[in-house]
Amino acid sequence: MAFQAHAIIDSPAPLVAALKDAGWKVIAPVERDGALVLAAIQSAEELPRGRVDRASPGEVRIEDGRPGRWFDHTLPASGWKRWLHPPRHLLWRANRGRDGFELKTPPPETEDLAFLGIRPCDLAAIARLDAVLGPDGSADTEYMRRRRHMLSVVVQCARAADTCFCTGPGTGPRAEHGFDLALTELEIGLLVEVGSERGAGILERLPSREARETDIEEAHAISRKTAGMQRRRLPPSAAAAIAQAPDHPEWDQLAARCLACGNCTLVCPTCFCTDVEDTTDLSGDHAERWQVWDSCFATGFSFVHEGPVRTSVRSRYRQWLTHKLATWYDQYGTSGCIGCGRCIAWCPVGIDLTAAAEAIARPASPSPAPTGG
């Protein structure tokens, strides 16, 4: 590769400034209303410096961490998908004219977005979405148009939350490729790894110094330490077991605890399901078609021919877990889960996907006839 592979920078401030100068809108985690959320930032001052998140099932708190540390927090409350696969998106407008309807599609989104501070698991989530929403990498979909206007500055994780389990699926805590730049926060500054020509071009504009071999070793040691902090794991046998266990009694246990509120799917960085809504105005001369995030936890999601197919919470929870962990392989050749743990942390009642998968992967003890679903 022609570009310099590593360097050290003192702070992300010149990086944010350089990205903005180059015309990128910089999206990064910021602290708002007691949580980390993604927002457009104007300067590195807005980053949650010195703050960390403490996540456990159904509870996330932000608190003081080591002062001065830029990236000791872990994940924002929701995935980055909203910037590529927006929650509401206008598909077309129709206006009634003299000779019927005239269709108009909105101009494509061409804003250049720099994802600053995206974590390895969330970068892997985008690769999973690519397989779903832009399978040949060139499809002229809204998603792929946005995707081509995206730059990534990964932050390699220095901490794992209690809910993290990326080491199992192998999506973190270190990203090896797929990024433009990657940062690891060392004691002496930020180690920058270059992953693309474009990333090299950005690094050239920054005040930086050469990275030593020991800096690179320290970065890898940080990743190993972070991996070692993880306590949860998905059993490797989960995919096969779940696909073959539609009548496992554990589904009843899960259904009894599940609110069917859909939070898990909405914060999941790979859940992609949408509904289509048509609107008309009072005159009847103007109509619009919108694509809107949906969730398999809504009864209307499985509505066909005058009725929903999945009426019970049991059947909807089973659908979500089975698709995420098992049938996703059949469709896309990978798991739908990248181990970010948001569905565990942001479940209002703290249902743990890893525990659920483990319970189902265990052979069921003989049980009475299934309760249906």
Which stretches of the chain bind another protein, using CB under 8 A?
Answer: 32-38, 58-61, 77-78, 82, 87-88, 256-263, 266-267, 277-284, 292-295, 298-300, 311, 313, 345-350
Q: How far is the CB of 288 from another protein (least distance, A)?
A: 12
- C-beta closer to another protein: residue 32 or 205: 32
Query: Quick one: which of 180, 156, 120 has its CA closest to 339?
Result: 120
- C-beta closer to another protein: residue 34 or 333: 34
* DSSP-derived 3-state class of residue 54: strand
- C-beta closer to another protein: residue 33 or 213: 33
- C-beta closer to another protein: residue 75 or 222: 75
- C-beta closer to another protein: residue 22 or 260: 260
Through-space distance between the first and last CA atoms of the chain, rounded to whole angstroms: 55
- C-beta closer to another protein: residue 22 or 39: 39
- C-beta closer to another protein: residue 197 or 277: 277
Q: How far is the CB of 328 from another protein (least distance, A)?
A: 21
Contact call for residues 176 and 194 (beta carbons, < 8 A): no
Contact call for residues 193 and 175 (beta carbons, < 8 A): no
Q: How far is the CB of 102 from another protein (least distance, A)?
A: 18
Q: How far is the CB of 346 from another protein (least distance, A)?
A: 5
Q: How far is the CB of 118 from another protein (least distance, A)?
A: 16
What is the Cα–Cα distance from 315 to 312, expressed in whole angstroms? 5
- C-beta closer to another protein: residue 125 or 313: 313
Q: How far is the CB of 126 from another protein (least distance, A)?
A: 18
Q: How far is the CB of 300 from another protein (least distance, A)?
A: 5
In the numeric block, which tokens belong to residue 99?
A: 């000779």
Handedness of CA 19, 21, 23, 25 (dihedral sign): positive
- Contact residues for 261 (Cβ-Cβ < 8 A; gap 6+): 297, 348
Query: Quick one: which of 361, 362, 356, 358 has its CA closest to 57?
Result: 356
Contact call for residues 348 and 264 (beta carbons, < 8 A): no
Q: How many CA atoms lie within 13 A of 93 on its CB side?
A: 8
In the numeric block, which tokens belong to residue 34?
A: 């007691």
Cis peptide before 235 (omega within 30 of 0): no
Q: How far is the CB of 130 from another protein (least distance, A)?
A: 22
Q: How far is the CB of 75 from another protein (least distance, A)?
A: 12
- C-beta closer to another protein: residue 181 or 268: 268
Contact call for residues 215 and 188 (beta carbons, < 8 A): yes
> Which uninterrupted H or E stretch holds 338?
none
- Contact residues for 297 (Cβ-Cβ < 8 A; gap 6+): 260, 261, 262, 264, 265, 316, 317, 320
What is the Cα–Cα distance from 194 to 120, expressed in whole angstroms? 15
